[in-house]
Structure 1
């Protein structure tokens, strides 16, 4: 009897979990063994983690850590907790991934969805028991601050601050040019209505000190907490402390990919180059998806269902001895920015480009930040 061959997914985040759940319902378990390799013992819902790090209200710290015990349909799959350090590929029939423990896991087909590295409060511990204590530390730091300076005007998930808040952003408008100016101005209006001071076309020096900030244009501010923009790939953006912690934005988790497959598989920004089929050029049995894939679209959780459907169909084609034919078309942009629990502004890049305010944004996302939808996607009722 022929032993089962492995289909391996590296990463249990938004893209990796979606692909795993989809494949678990299509792969023949008598022929193929589905394995997900992830460092965390749980799924971290990053969108909800923004609020979980800012406030304990709504019990979000517990809600954002979702068990992976129901991930696979009909239990057709296995979770391996570990960190991948290397990939080998023989060019024809697969290869091995090597874990930090030294264990080698063979694969017939490999999907890379390792996401990005985060600093600050979103660099959460890998085990659930440590997570509440981690978020409690951040709650305390935010709560003690009376005057907060946010450096950078990305899609800011402000939360329910009672403090004075100012945003300094180097651009002429908030957000980036993936969205129309009209919407970017509307975000500014919503923030000003909440009492947020918005300072555009200005920059905070890298060595700015708490209590005494002078911007490039000479604006003087006296915050007791300076936080730096941390771009969020999944629909909104969070901010982290600049004092006593790293303030770098998220970075592609590409070190083991680069060292194994070579720098030629990476684009200039460090993401993995992919064909429209999500296969890596030159590696027909290796796919890349989610935050790590180099696509000309905003990195958002909602788009990874599309990635999953295409990759699942193409993997099924490979195991059936067929050509990969399903291809990805860049998505229209959609964003729902939460401003507190009951506010926000939304943009849907369809039809004539639709914009919505507090009521729709709150209904769609602001109240529970899609936690219940994410739980359902991971197999929980």
Structure 2
């Protein structure tokens, strides 16, 4: 397809955003229709491994995977969607793409280093390397936020530099808020304590640190409790924001005050027949994780195929129970999976039960997988092979 300023030929499907859900749905659609995947970054960014890519130089290149072999029929267009209405996508370059169907997959922004904050992969790699050098010289690290990112970053730093002092501060009453069990949090706290990572809950800093996040510079900050903390570098581990500011026309009615989009059971925007949304930008009450976005993709692809074939009953998406795989470095962490036996084959389930029995592991009965199984599930490999295969970049 030739792209030029002004109107383009009508495309069957425009997928806006090339993150986890975007590449999954584009690949599914590519099998049976014309698709244009619109993404401003020059490569796919494997954010699941971003914190390992910060602390381990051998992992940094694993974060950035090319798009050029993702689609066989369709097109990956490097550009930014600045306006999307019910029938077209207008790009930063001035191009407008008229679309028979639109899939919104723009995800969310998050502070560095959990997500790269530049569209250019070379610049992103440079920042990860530069920040790693600063971390290597830092004896004391302050992390603001005791959610999954804060805990995972703490684990990665400890694995790389065991003598580094790490303090996590969060105003909430517990770590990893959400629909997880107390036993799951207790296991994480046990491991954090064993690693010497201090967690301070129920308070916050009285003032913003004087240095920029991720920048070397010793400072002392005061908690609301009056305690003073000295650190050589700090990171913001909270504050994700859905990227939906490009909506225009009737689509804006689906946008909630928090920026997320109200969708129907079949993942269409409320009030729309041909516009779908997936992943972090949806207002579905479920964890905003890569796997969740990927799970939306086959539902949307099936529904678009039904519509292209002339209509019929559409497939409904059903959120699963709360679950999370939370590594604390390559060999630590815990997994909350109350229905884990339903998600694996019988042989794997038998292996996991036998493994737990041999080790006297009582966590499994509570739907929790401990450090060793968490390492096998995610901590050692961080799913890089799975997404490299999806992009045909393996």
Pairwise TM-score range, normalised by the shorter structure:
0.7 to 0.9
Q: Which residue of 2 aligns with 1:7?
A: 13
Q: Is the 8 A contact 2:183 2:366 kept in 1?
A: no
RMSD of aligned alpha carbons: 1.8
Show the 5 A alignment for 1:322-333.
322-333=311-322
Q: Which residue of 2 aligns with 1:85?
A: 82
Q: Which residue of 2 aligns with 1:373?
A: 386
1:120 to partner: Cα distance: 2.8
Q: Which of 76, 79, 87 is matched with 2:73 structurally?
A: 76
Q: Are 2:298 and 1:285 aligned? A: no
Q: Which residue of 1 aligns with 2:4?
A: none
| Alignment partners' CA distance in 2, 1:50 and 1:261 | 38
Q: Which residue of 1 aligns with 2:243?
A: 253
Q: Which residue of 1 aligns with 2:227?
A: 219
1:5 to partner: Cα distance: 4.0
Whichever structure has more strand as a proportion of its residues is 1
Structure-1-length-normalised TM-score:
0.86
Aligned length: 346
1:376 to partner: Cα distance: 1.4
| Alignment partners' CA distance in 1, 2:328 and 2:28 | 33
Q: Which residue of 2 aligns with 1:241?
A: none
| Alignment partners' CA distance in 2, 1:205 and 1:356 | 37
* Moved >4 Å (runs of 4+): none
The alignment partner of 2:324 has SS state of: strand
The alignment partner of 1:105 has SS state of: strand
Q: Which residue of 2 aligns with 1:67?
A: 66
1:324 to partner: Cα distance: 4.6
Show the 5 A alignment for 1:236-275.
249-257=239-247, 259-261=248-250, 263-275=252-264
The alignment partner of 2:21 has SS state of: helix
Q: Which of 131, 140, 151 is matched with 2:133 structurally?
A: 140
The alignment partner of 2:141 has SS state of: strand
Q: Is the 8 A contact 1:87 1:261 kept in 2?
A: no
1:195 to partner: Cα distance: 0.7
Q: Is the 8 A contact 1:154 1:176 kept in 2?
A: yes
Gaps of 5+ in 2: 1-8, 211-217, 341-364
| Alignment partners' CA distance in 1, 2:249 and 2:82 | 9
Q: Which residue of 2 aligns with 1:233?
A: none
Gaps of 5+ in 1: 90-94, 231-248
Q: Which residue of 1 aligns with 2:36?
A: 35
Whichever structure has more helix as a proportion of its residues is 2
